[in-house]
A and B are shown apart, each in its own frame.
Chain A
Amino acid sequence: MNEPVIGILIVLGGLFSAVAGIGVLRLPDVLVRMHASTKAGTLGVGLIVLGTAFHFDGPLAVAKALLIVLFLLLTAPVGAHLIGRAAYRSGTPLWDGTVIDERERMRSGALPDERQPSSDDPNDQSGGIQ
């Protein structure tokens, strides 16, 4: 009775999981890769676990599955924020196509920077384009 629902949910979740893995492999930059890992990964795994919740009858198993989904939704943003902040602060190189790096621009306002000849104009939005 529930089998079509389970099938659709877990195949969709598997698609998102594959997209998350391929995104982490193919995207150019730590901060960009975290988009794939956090959003697509959480959605994919959440759909798969939700499909599993439809399969079992007992309330304990359903509660466990929903608890996994709830916990993933709670912890994924926190973990991604921590990793992103740590990656930026530890000086991981950014992608060449990064449009704006505001902390870098603040720093280069204090220090003269040859790469950005227009960085003395604080309203210049194209300062980080290379």
Chain B
Amino acid sequence: MDSFASFTDSTALDIATVLTLIGLVAASIRLYLGPSRSDRVVSLDLITVLLIAISSLAALRFDNAAFLDLGLTLALVGFLATVAFARYLESNPVDRTPPDDANDRSDA
């Protein structure tokens, strides 16, 4: 792996890291803004997926394959978290519009 050691400080790695961080910041802003719980679940899902990318880029940057284990674990846990959040959303429909008032769905 010594022949690839120069890759750990390449420009492409910096560009990819910055772009992924832009995606993470945007998803975090959406997580903060909401407005509904479903939006927050979607942005949390995206944040988990982007953290896999960050750990993979860390494996490149530090030339250490152990960060891939982190990514694999995040993929597994993130899927379980998504399923759990979806079940929670469906079992607690707090912001459900009542059936008689179903014509007022447009105030997004």
A interface residue numbers (CB < 8 A to B)? 1-3, 6-8, 10-11, 13-15, 17-22, 24-25, 28-30, 33-34, 36-37, 41-42, 44-45, 48-49, 51-52, 55-58, 60-61, 64-65, 67-68, 71-72, 75-76, 78-79, 82-83, 85-87, 89-96, 101, 104, 107-108, 111, 113-116, 130
Q: Give every chain A residue within 8 A of B93 (Cβ-Cβ).
A: 89-91
Question: Chain B contact residues: over half helix, strand or loop, or mixed?
Answer: helix
The answer on a CB contact under 8 Å between B53 and A93 is no
**In whole angstroms, how far apart are the Cα atoms of A56 and B66 in the complex?**
11
Cβ B46 vs Cβ A64 within 8 A: no
Partner of A115 from the list B19, B25, B43, B103 (CB cut-off 8 Å) is B103
In addition to A86-B87, A87-B41, A111-B102, 19 A-B residue pairs with Cβ atoms within 8 Å of each other are A10-B16, A14-B53, A18-B19, A24-B43, A33-B39, A37-B27, A42-B49, A45-B56, A49-B52, A51-B56, A51-B60, A86-B38, A86-B85, A90-B96, A92-B38, A93-B106, A104-B102, A107-B99, A108-B102
Q: How many residues of B contact A (CB 8 A)?
A: 69
**B interface, CB within 8 angstroms of A:** 1, 3-4, 6-7, 10, 12-13, 15-20, 22-27, 29-30, 36-39, 41-43, 45-46, 49-50, 52-53, 56-57, 59-60, 63, 65, 68-69, 71-72, 75-76, 79, 82-83, 85-87, 89-90, 92-97, 99-100, 102-103, 105-108
